[in-house]
Every structure is written in structure tokens, then in C-alpha cells.
Amino acid sequence: MAEQPQPISPLKNFFAGGFGGVCLVFVGHPLDTIKVRLQTQPKPQPGQPPLYSGTFDCLRKTLVGEGIRGLYRGMAAPIVGVTPMFAVCFFGFGLGKRLQQRKPDDVLTYPQLFAAGMLSGVFTTVIMAPGERIKCLLQIQAATGETKYSGSLDCAKQLYREAGIRGVYKGTVLTLMRDVPASGMYFMTYEWLKNILTPEGKSVSDLSVPRILFAGGLAGIFNWAVAIPPDVLKSRFQTAPAGKYPNGFRDVLRELIREEGVASLYKGFTAVMIRAFPANAACFLGFEVAMKFLNWIAPNL
């Protein structure tokens, strides 16, 4: 296995991870909007067609009805959250690696990298859960024809006014169920691909841009292959009226399986997979470029 990264610099990880997260949101948000609308569309009445027949139908209707801005509904919430979230995410992964090293130069196994990635998922949930809640509500309100929230801040204020902090953090357990195993897969896959793509005698830090893009994009595919079922449950639960699912995700799961079958757990699969590669390729490339820049201007930071 190729060499491990240098010791963690929290400040460098903050800026590099934040820049990578901004790159991910900007590239991936349009298809995230489509994914959420597909996952949360109401069940059609007997004899009536569904609101969206699939990914491309949702894309077409969104563009026709709302223009390109419709694809970026709710982006303010994840943009505001990406810098601390990805800082914590990449820091958490690095910390997870350090905790498993007996010596600074120890090379970790892939199961150990998976465990370190899972720790990053725990760290990010505190920031991710309210951002996801606000984002999902803003993404679906255009489809319902009702404008309840004027923006991210207004949505957060109304949620807090209606149900306190619990209303803002609704869906936290499902966010954990999605992000902990998915983050383990995400980082382990990225490290594995970087290692196998590194030419003999070269360093991982010298990987070319196309190879970083490929490793990051494929890591995103593996991440979402794990994350889609809990993500569907999370989107349904976070956008449901208060009190609809008193037993949490178990009620959501039972309703989905009973009414729409197991396949409903993979709603939005096409949109997710189309989004996963470019968005996560952009994220890891942004992170690597920012980290190299920070190492150049402040090598001892």
C-alpha cells in the first residue's frame, strides 16, 4: 500500500475540505434536487400517472416550470454548511486514522480505513442533519405549488418556532444510518483507488488530475450504493408532516414496503448515480488542489 498522508493540520483540513465541499455542491446540487423530488413525490391516485415518470421527466418539468434556478433550490443551506461539514469530515477521517496508528508511519489496512471513514460520518451528522432537513423542504415545496418558506433562513426560523431544536434536527438518526457506513465506504474506496492508480515508484501525492477525478468519482459511486436506501427513508421522514411517523424510520420503512415495494428504497437511483461521479470527483480534486496550495504557502502550519 502507498504511503499514508502527512499528520493532520486542522486548519488546512478546514479550508481544503471546505473548498472541496463547495465544488461538490455546485456540481451536484441540480441532480440532488431531482433525487429528492423523485423520492418524495406523492403516490398517484388510481388511474393517474405519477407526477414524475423518472429522472429525465423530472429534469424537463423542473426546467420548464422553474428554469435553471429551480435546479438550485435549497442550495444556500448546504453551501453554508459545507465548509465546517467537510472540514469536520476530512478531519474526522484523519483523526480516525491517527487513533489506529501505533506509530506515525504505520500503514493502515483497508478495514481500518473503513473504520476511520465511519468516524467522519459521525462527526458530520451534527452539521449535516439540519442542512438536509432545510434543503429537502425547500426542494419539494415548488412541486407542491405552496410557497411556505422564502428561503433557508426563513425555513430554519419556522421549523424552530414550530417544534424547537428537535424540529430542525428531525431525521438525525436516519442521517447517521446513511452517513456512517457510506462514509466508511467513501474514504476506503478513495484511498484504495489512489493506491492502485499510483505508478510504481511514485507517491500518492503526485497523482495526476485525471486519476484523482477518477478515484474521487468512483468513490462517490460506492458511497451512494450504500447510502441510497437510508437516504430515501430520510427524505420521506424529513419532509413528512409532524406526527405522521410517530415511530420514526420504522414507520417510513413499513409504509414504503407495503405501498410501493422494496424497489421504492432505490427511488432516485439514476439521478444519484449520474450526480455521484462528477460531484465527488470535483470534491476530491478541490480538496487535493487546496491542500497542495496550503502546503505550499504554509508548510509548517
Looking at per-residue pLDDT, the higher value among 216 and 125 belongs to 216
Residues in the chain: 301
CA of 3: how far to CAs of 40, 223, 286, in Å? 44, 23, 21
Residue written as cell 398517484?
A: 44
Split at pLDDT 50, 70, 90, the class of 217 is: very high
7/5 Cα distance (integer angstroms):
7
49/43 Cα distance (integer angstroms):
9
Mean pLDDT of 122-147: 82
Mean pLDDT of 239-249: 85
Is the pLDDT at 57 greater than 80, yes or no? yes
Mean pLDDT of 280-295: 91
What is the reported pLDDT for 144? 65
Looking at per-residue pLDDT, the higher value among 23 and 43 belongs to 23
- pTM for this entry: 0.78
Number of H helices, E strands in the chain: 9, 0
Mean pLDDT of 219-245: 91
163-197 pLDDT, tens digit per residue, is 899 999 999 999 999 999 999 999 999 999 999 99
Is the pLDDT at 4 greater than 60, yes or no? no
What is the reported pLDDT for 34? 87
What is the reported pLDDT for 5? 46
Split at pLDDT 50, 70, 90, the class of 218 is: very high
Looking at per-residue pLDDT, the higher value among 54 and 215 belongs to 215
What are the residue ranges of helices labelled H in the chain? 10-40, 55-66, 76-100, 110-144, 152-168, 172-197, 209-239, 249-260, 269-297
Among 8-17, 20-29, 225-234, the minimum mean pLDDT is found in 8-17
Looking at per-residue pLDDT, the higher value among 222 and 85 belongs to 222
Residue whose C-alpha is closest to residue 62's, from 135, 136, 140: 140
Radius of gyration for the chain, computed over Cα atoms and rounded to the nearest angstrom: 20
Cell numbers at residue 95, please?
Answer: 483523526
Is the pLDDT at 9 greater than 80, yes or no? no
Q: Which amino acid is at 42?
A: P
Is the pLDDT at 3 greater than 50, yes or no? no
Q: Which amino acid is at 120?
A: S
Mean pLDDT of 257-261: 90
Is residue 37 within 8 Å of 139, Cβ to Cβ? yes
Mean pLDDT of 55-84: 83
